[in-house]
Structure 1
Amino acid sequence: MKLRAAVLGCGSFGGRHARVLAGLPEHAELVAFCGRDEVKAKAFSNEFTGGRAAAYTDSRHMMEDANLDLLVVCLPPSGHGDEVAIAAQHGVHLLMEKPIALTSADGWKMVEAAERAGIKTQVGFMSRFGAVVEAFKAFQEGGEAGPVGMFDAQYFCNSLHSPWWREKEKSGGQLLEQVIHHVDLLRYLMGEPQTVYARMANLFHQDVPGYTIEDISVVVARFAGGPLGVLRSSNAAIPGRYDTGFNVIAQKVTVQAQNHNSGTIHFTTEQKEPLTIASEQDCYAAQMLDLVGAIRDDRPARTPIREGALSLDLAVAAVRSAEAMTEVAL
């Protein structure tokens, strides 16, 4: 079965997902692109399909006209509207970049529309498909890791990114737009926390016009029985570099990861050699193939839209904690 696919949003991530789809001709055919700028949409069509895909500037028109099976949504957080509801009405499956919304209320409206229609969904938390994450998850599900006591992650970079990214009302801030990858990993590996406590500040970008988000933050999530998740982030670290390493401390296994594809798993209660992983796995392709398989086999994808809403809930609660300067119960 070859899916008729379209990309909504012709920015950098739209191009990334279009490239993945173009590389999976046995599974999908790119038939449409939609963006605010018709010239850009046509340029994407030329680049990824040799001009065969139609170009649209209205997503509703595209979904009514293009006979789609799959829509890939690559919009800034503030750019979301009714695309999920419209896709659900037309029975169009979805891959959505994160975060799925700026507010929990909007996120759960999307979940309701998608689940009511029975469409398959995948949220772009591609770290779940990283080689290190998959290896630890296999140990965890096989009972070889034991309970997780701590997840500790950093997200350090130094870039002005796109203008919309610097504006709180458009991106939600670094925690909501970037660090939500680690928020999701924390949930994926540890479950749902009971409380969250956060602090954040803009210390080094106060003189940058339009920069209204944090550039440092720390989040501590507390789980039943005492386990902790700690997320540290900054947009004032080393320019040109993204440090996204994380550690997992479980009863029998400890993970030291440079990123979701590279790291070492140590066995702390057995005399076993550490497992070193250095993979170049394409997590974007892996998540797309997982969604294709979910559509084909009528099963849930690894990260359905409900997971996107739950991770958004935790990120929003962390922001609320920082603003109120108090621990927030979940």
Structure 2
Amino acid sequence: MAEKRYRVGILGCGGIANAHARAILKTGRMDFVAFCDIEEQRAKEFNERYAQGNAKVFTDYRKMFESVEMDIVYICLPPFAHSDEVELAAKAGVHIFIEKPIALDMETAERMVKACKENKVKSQVGFMNRHGDAVQTVKRMIESGEAGQPGLLVAWYMCNSLHAPWWRDKSKSGGQIVEQIIHTYDIARFLLGEPVSVFCHLDNLFHKDVPNYTSEDVSATSIRFSSGAVATIAGTNGAIPGKWINQWKLVTQNFTVDFTDANNATLVQTNLPHLRTLTVNSDKDLFLAETLDLLKAIETDGETVCPMEEGAKTLRLVLAARESGETGRVISLVG
């Protein structure tokens, strides 16, 4: 029996949508039927580039959901642009991939979670680092007990770019923690469990003279988890231009793990008389992995690695970190 083919639409034809479109084509099982963007030309360019002009083009996502039958929609909108697109997709029975952060407030995020659950559609949030071979290996070791008690995660995210105008505006992006470093906060949750409290320092030190730059460009956050583990996550948008440095170190009872990235890590086993070093080396396509995981969930009626509910939980963490940085208070995440 031939494998089922899936009809796919993309909402938001910006930069990150290209990475997802390329991954979709790599599956060999997905056909583009619609592209939507408020700038019609961008949607038309995606249509030509990825569907040889055979898909339909829209500037209104409501019309897209009304007039095109889709199995999956990829929502690649900037944070401030989210409204009711998830609810409309879910009501139409369309499975959802959505880029992070899923919203800028918990009320919107919780509506998204509710819509997916009530309409029984599968969802995947774009935290691609969860799919990395090194991350998956360490996650299994923690869950099996092989790693022992998780203790400390130290992580840093460093870049130096003005990014898009909307990105610099904290009211539209949520700030660097919420829009960008959220990937690192999600890895902390994925490996260490649910956070119970967070404290953050943040400021805009390097871009005070840049018009409309209201996002923080330095931050340092301390997180306590229900497992007893702690994490420190530091970030800046004032480091080396043209470089994107995102690394993590994890200490558990039995291992010290140095992640180069989500696919590659060195693990030193520390509970032996003689230290043993293990390595995980991989070049897995994380964007393709996200898509294949979503297809598997649809076909098996299973769960994705990062469903909408997980996206909401990580959003709650980064919003709490931002609130702490803005108020100077420790924010409790219990209850």
In structure 2, stretches of 5+ residues that fail to align are none
Distance in 2, Cα, partners of 1:177 & 1:225 = 26
* Matching of residues 97-136 of structure 1 within 5 Å: 97-136=99-138
Tell me by how many angstroms 1:112 deviates: 0.8
**Closer, same or farther in 2 for the Cα pair 1:135/1:272, shift >3 Å?**
farther
Does residue 45 (structure 1) correspond to residue 47 (structure 2)? The answer is yes
Query: Is the CA contact (8 Å cut-off) linking 2:113 and 2:309 kept in structure 1?
Result: yes
**Which residue of the other structure, out of 10, 16, 30, is the alignment partner of 1:13?**
16
Partner residue, 1:243:
245
TM-score of the superposed pair, with normalisation by structure 1: 0.98
Distance in 1, Cα, partners of 2:310 & 2:37 = 26
Tell me by how many angstroms 1:205 deviates: 0.4
**What's the CA shift string for 1:237-267, capped at 9, x where partnerless?**
1110011000111111111012112221111
Distance in 1, Cα, partners of 2:162 & 2:281 = 30
Partner residue, 1:306:
309
Query: Is the CA contact (8 Å cut-off) linking 2:9 and 2:70 kept in structure 1?
Result: yes
Q: Share of identical aligned residues, percent?
A: 42
Distance in 2, Cα, partners of 1:227 & 1:278 = 26
The residue matched to 2:77 in structure 1 has which SS? coil
Runs of 4+ that moved beyond 6 A:
none
Query: Is the CA contact (8 Å cut-off) linking 2:195 and 2:224 kept in structure 1?
Result: yes
The residue matched to 2:195 in structure 1 has which SS? coil
Tell me by how many angstroms 1:272 deviates: 5.8
Tell me by how many angstroms 1:305 deviates: 0.1
Query: Is the CA contact (8 Å cut-off) linking 1:156 and 1:242 kept in structure 2?
Result: yes
Distance in 1, Cα, partners of 2:169 & 2:227 = 38
Query: Is the CA contact (8 Å cut-off) linking 1:93 and 1:120 kept in structure 2?
Result: yes
Distance in 1, Cα, partners of 2:226 & 2:44 = 52
The residue matched to 2:267 in structure 1 has which SS? strand
TM-score of the superposed pair, with normalisation by structure 2: 0.96
Does residue 327 (structure 1) correspond to residue 330 (structure 2)? The answer is yes
Distance in 2, Cα, partners of 1:7 & 1:249 = 40
Structure 2 counterpart of 1:208, one-letter code: V
Partner residue, 1:293:
296
Query: Is the CA contact (8 Å cut-off) linking 1:22 and 1:49 kept in structure 2?
Result: no
Does residue 203 (structure 1) correspond to residue 239 (structure 2)? The answer is no
Distance in 1, Cα, partners of 2:168 & 2:144 = 42
Query: Is the CA contact (8 Å cut-off) linking 2:193 and 2:227 kept in structure 1?
Result: no
Instruction: Decide which moves more: 230-239 or 134-143.
Output: 134-143
Tell me by how many angstroms 1:141 deviates: 2.2
Does residue 257 (structure 1) correspond to residue 259 (structure 2)? The answer is yes
Structure 1 counterpart of 2:215, one-letter code: I
Tell me by how many angstroms 1:314 deviates: 0.5
Distance in 1, Cα, partners of 2:148 & 2:330 = 28
Distance in 2, Cα, partners of 1:183 & 1:46 = 37
Structure 1 counterpart of 2:26, one-letter code: G
Does residue 4 (structure 1) correspond to residue 13 (structure 2)? The answer is no
Tell me by how many angstroms 1:225 deviates: 6.4
Structure 1 counterpart of 2:200, one-letter code: A
Partner residue, 1:222:
224
Instruction: Decide which moves more: 136-145 or 237-246.
Output: 136-145
**Which residue of the other structure, out of 49, 71, 91, is the alignment partner of 1:89?**
91
Aligned residues: 329
The residue matched to 1:184 in structure 2 has which SS? helix
